[in-house]
Structure 1
Amino acid sequence: MKETIQKLNERVASLEDSLNKAAIPIIPSIVPSTILIPFAGELTPERFQMVIPKILDYASKDDIDTAVIDFTAISVKEVGDLAILGTYIEQLNSSLNLMGVQVIAVGFSPEFSRELVQSGLGIIKELKAFANFRAALQYLLKKKGLEIALVK
C-alpha cells in the first residue's frame, strides 16, 4: 500500500511539473533575437520560482536581446499579493538586464495597471511597457531598423 501511494505521489509530482512547464511557454518572435513570454493563470511564488530559471536559461542559450512579457491573460484576481508579483517581476527584469536582455511588458488591463500603480511598487517606473504585443513589435522593428513588407 505504501509503495502504491509513493508511486502515485511521484506521478502527481511529475504531472504537476509537466503542467507548470507547459503553462508559461517561451515563444520566439518574428523580430530577431526576441522572445515572447505570455503569462496566464494564477501567478504564485512557486510558479515564478519555476519559470524565472527557465526564462534565464533560454535567454542564455540563444542570442536573445529582448524579452516581451505578456500579461494580457492576467487579471488582478489571479495575482494575489501585488508586492510578491512586483518582487518576482523585478528579479526577472534585473536578471535579464544583467544578461543584456531588455524586458518589455505588454497587456496590462486598465484595472491591473491601476492596482499596480496604487501599490507603489518601484518596478513600475523601470518597466518599458506597451498596451499590446503589436505596439511592442512595432517599437522593436523600428528600434532594430526592420520593417514588415507585404508580399503581393
Structure 2
Amino acid sequence: MDTTDKHRIKATDLEHILLESIPIPVIAVDKDFNILFINSAGCDWCKKEFEEAIGKKCFNVIEAKCCSSSNCGIKEAMDSGKKYTGHYEIPHHKETINIEITAVPLKDENGKIVGGLEYITDITSKVKMENELRTQTQTILELATPVIKIWDGILLLPLVGIVDTARAQQIIENLLNSIVENEAELAILDLTGVPVVDTAVARHIIKTVNAAKMLGAQTILTGFSPEVSQTLVTLGVDLSNITTCGSLKTGISKAFSLIGKKVVSYEG
C-alpha cells in the first residue's frame, strides 16, 4: 500500500470498521435518543435491519424497561458527562437475561455533549455461575458448621478448621437457629479441630456464647489443648464467665449433669 492509499483511509472509516467488528451491540444516539449508529451485532441483538433502527428512538428499538427511564445507562452518561456502567435484568426474545451496559457521552470539538454511545454485554452465564458459586459456598459453610442434637435440649457444634469472620457469622446463625428450633438449654462448642485460637477467634467465640445466652441457652466450650490455654492466658482473653472443659467427653458429661442426668458406663 503506497502513501496515497494510506491517506485515503480516514480515521472515521477505521472507527466504523472497528465498531462493526465488535461482536457485541454498540449503539450511538443523539441527545434526543435518536439512533445515529448501530453495528451489526446490535441489529442482530434487536432483530432489526439497519434501516429499521437508524433514526428511531433507541428505547423503541431495544424495548427494555430500563430504557427511557431514570435507570437508562446512556441517559446517565449524557447527564453526568462521565462513563456509566450498570447491570440489568431484562426480558429478551421470550426469555430473561442479565446484561451489563457501559455508556459514555459523545462530545463535539468544543467539549459539548451531543449524544451518547453504549455497548451491551450479555452476562447471563456469568451471573448464573456467580449464583451457583454463592449457593455452593453457602452449602459448604453449612456443612462445615453442623449443629448436632445429641439429647433433648443439648446441641453439639464441632468446629474444624480456621474460624474467620465470615465463618464465625455462619456459626452464630446456625447455632441460634438450632437453639430456637430445638428449644435447647445447652450448646457445646468443641474446638478440638480448630488449629489456631487467637484473639480474633476468641472474640468470635465470646460473641457466639453471648448470642446463645440471649436465647436462654448456656454454652460449654470444649477441646482446649494446653497450648491453646496458655495462648489465651498470654493474650489476656477473659473466659472466666464461660464454662470450659478440656475434652468433648468431659463437656458432654458436664452438659448432662446440668440437666439432671448422668453418663454411666454399661457392660452388657
- TM-score range (shorter-chain normalised) is 0.7 to 0.9
Identity %: 21
Q: Which residue of 229, 235, 251 corresponds with 1:113?
A: 229
Q: Once the two structures are superposed, what CA deviation does each residue of 1:50-106 show, in whole Å capped at 9, x if it has no partner?
A: 221221111012120000000010112xx5xx2322222111111111221111000
Could you say which structure has the higher strand fraction?
2
Gaps of 5+ in 2: 1-121
For residues 34-61 of structure 1, give each alpha carbon's deviation from its aligned partner in whole angstroms, at most 9, with x where no partner exists.
Answer: 0000011110000111221221111012
Name 1:133's counterpart in structure 2: 248
User: What does residue 54 of structure 1 align with?
Assistant: 174
Letter in 1 for 2:258: K
Aligned partners of 2:200 and 2:218: how far apart in 1? 22
Q: What residue is the counterpart of 1:33 in the other structure?
A: 153
Report the AA paired with residue 127 of structure 1: I
Counterpart amino acid of residue 143 in structure 2: A
Query: Please, which runs of 5 or more residues in structure 1 have no aligned partner?
Result: none
Contact 1:33–1:63 under 8 Å retained in 2: yes
The residue number in structure 1 matching 2:107 is none
8 A contact 2:220–2:255 mirrored in 1: no
2:240 maps to a residue whose letter is K
Change (3 A) 1:113 1:16: same
Letter in 2 for 1:48: A
**Matched residue type, 1:5:** K
User: Which of the pair has more CA radius of gyration?
Assistant: 2
Between 1:45-54 and 1:133-142, the stretch displaced more is 133-142
Determine the structure 2 residue equivalent to 1:100.
216
Q: Is residue 75–residue 109 contact of structure 1 (8 Å, CA) maintained in 2?
A: no
CA contact (8 A) 2:253 2:263 kept: no
Q: Choose which of 144, 147, 151 in structure 1 pairs with 2:259.
A: 144
1:18 corresponding residue in structure 2: 139
**Residues 191, 223 of structure 2: 8 Å contact kept:** yes
- In the alignment, the residues of structure 2 paired with residue 90 and residue 145 of structure 1 have an alpha-carbon distance, to the nearest angstrom, of 26
Aligned: 1:44 with 2:185: no
Measured in 1, the distance between the counterparts of 2:132 and 2:258 equals 47
**Equivalent in the alignment of 2:195:** 75
TM-score by length of 1: 0.86
Instruction: Give the RMSD, CA atoms, in angstroms.
Output: 1.7
Aligned AA (2:164): T
1:86 and 1:33 mapped to 2: Cα distance? 25
Name the aligned partner's letter for residue 4 of structure 1.
S
Distance, in Å, in 2 between the alignment partners of 1:54 and 1:89 is 14
> 2:172, 2:249 → 1: CA distance?
24
The answer as to whether partners of 2:187 and 2:218 remain within 8 angstroms in 1 is yes
